[in-house]
Amino acid sequence: MENDRIKQMVLLKAIAAKEASRSLASMNANQKNKVLSAMADALQQNTNEILFHNKIDIEAAKEAKTNSALIDRLTLTKERIDNMTKSIKDVIFLNDPIGAVLEESNPIVGLNVKKIRVPLGVISMIYEARPNVTVDAAGLCLKAGNAVILKGGSEAINSNKILAKIIHEAGLKAGMPPGSVQLMDTVDRTAVQEILKLDNFIDLIIPRGSEELINFVKNHSLIPILSHGKGLCHTYIDKDADVNMAIKISVNAKCQRPAACNAMETLLIHKDMARKILPNLCKLYSEANVELKGCNISKSIVDSIKSATKEDWNTEYHDLKLSIKVVNSLEEAISHINKYGSMHSEAIVTDNEQTANEFAAKVDAAAIFINASTRLHDGGTFGLGCEVGISTQKLHARGAMGINELTTTKYMVNGNGTTRS
């Protein structure tokens, strides 16, 4: 009986979203920006209420002995709410992608062909832990002219409910079509199963969360998927690296926010640099309470490094833990990354331009960082306003996904009584 109720609820929301998507597709930039501005103002005005409901989720997570990385992703603060508000305001200032002419040609006399950007239609975000996704996804989808169906995890249900309520009510008052932003406010997993069947109404699924969640969606969806895979990121310190720069980048990549998917999990160091850099670097890691695991060479240089196993090279810690490996060459570093990496974010620190170019050409990842931290792989940092995730697949988008990645194309063909002979 309960399954039937959820099935009906999901279907009705999908129908409403499809209807809303048709109205959104014809809204101009000013109309959409008015909606987004109202949402941003409403979030700011209701900060205390948001924090109150988020605290309920945090306390429940602590009682359930949830790991610290998940609690970090779940936690909202005034600063993080300010950042969510800023993200929406940043999206407002982005150029409206809809209607942009990507290509234009006159292939035969009397025929003009334009390839233009149009909305995808209806997008469903299925995600875990991060309540900011509720706001980021709604803002980006609306700016790109899409309706969005949101399904967050049970651990953030109270946070997601209040955020969705606030932006939905504000959006409606500002002229947003009903059904444009909807939350599946149930913790029952049946809702996810039903969403994945509705290929007649939903145009794209974006799962964001654990490998378990993403694999479930991949295995059960009838709808195209744009997936946010795990972030097993590396930093390689080359023999021609600037020592101070390498230390600065390596500490930031691991310690700035270790629970993030773009945090470094494995540090690779060229053998000629290992003794010059490891003692000072490991001292800083120790001060930051980072647990270090490494190869035999790294252990011989710094006593506090524990033995790394093969499993460590393949582990996304999401924590203050780091694997360290000393390599003999650039080629060995590239080989290690391509074997164990998740095609997310990979970095090299070097003053050798040729080495940097070879690393960039041969490492298979959504983003390559040269003399910069992997923590920079983020929609806001890249000027996208915010993101709906970081795609580690190759079609139809890769890397940080902003408004352009939430569109498709349409040919507009104008003739003058033109026919085919």
Q: From CA 406, how far away is CA 66, in angstroms rounded?
A: 33
pLDDT confidence band for 249 (50 / 70 / 90): very high
255 plus 217 within the same structural domain: no
Exposure class string for 56-94: b at 16+ Cβ within 10 A, else e = ebbebbeeeebeebbbbbbbbeeebbebbbebbbbbbeb
For position 242, which CATH number holds?
3.40.309.10
Give the span between the Cα atoms of 289 and 292, in whole angstroms.
Answer: 9
261 shares its domain with 344? yes
| One domain, residues 320 and 369 | yes
**Which residue, among 18, 7, 393, 19, has the nearest Cα to 192 in the 3D structure?**
7
pLDDT tier, 421 (very low <50, low <70, confident <90, very high otherwise): confident
Within a domain: 386: no
Largest CA distance in the chain: 81
User: Token pair for residue 391?
Assistant: 């795609």
208 and 164 in a common domain: yes
In a domain, 264, yes or no: yes
Does the residue 394 lie in any domain?
no
Are 217 and 256 members of one domain?
Answer: no
Assess whether 220 and 355 both reside in one domain.
no
pLDDT tens-digit series, residues 15-70: 999 999 999 999 999 999 999 999 999 999 999 999 999 999 999 999 999 888 88
Assess whether 288 and 406 both reside in one domain.
no
Indicate if 282 and 362 belong to the same structural domain: yes
Residues 215 and 350 in one domain: no
Pairing of strands 291-294, 112-119: unpaired
What is the total count of domains within the chain? 2
Contact between residue 236 and residue 371 where contact means Cβ atoms under 8 Å apart:
no
Residues of the domain holding 31: 2-226+401-414
Asked if residue 72 is part of any domain, the answer here is: yes
Q: Are residues 240 and 195 both part of a single domain?
A: no
Question: Which residue shows structure tokens 């490991």?
Answer: 282
Are 285 and 407 in the same domain? no
Q: Tens of pLDDT along 98-123?
A: 999 999 999 999 999 999 999 999 99
Closest CA to 146 of 186, 91, 82, 217: 91
Q: Is residue 80 part of a domain?
A: yes
Give residue-wise pLDDT tens across range 287-321: 999 999 999 999 999 999 999 999 999 999 999 99
The answer as to whether 388 is a domain residue is: no
The answer to whether position 63 is within a domain reads yes
391 in a domain, yes or no? no
pTM, 2 dp: 0.92
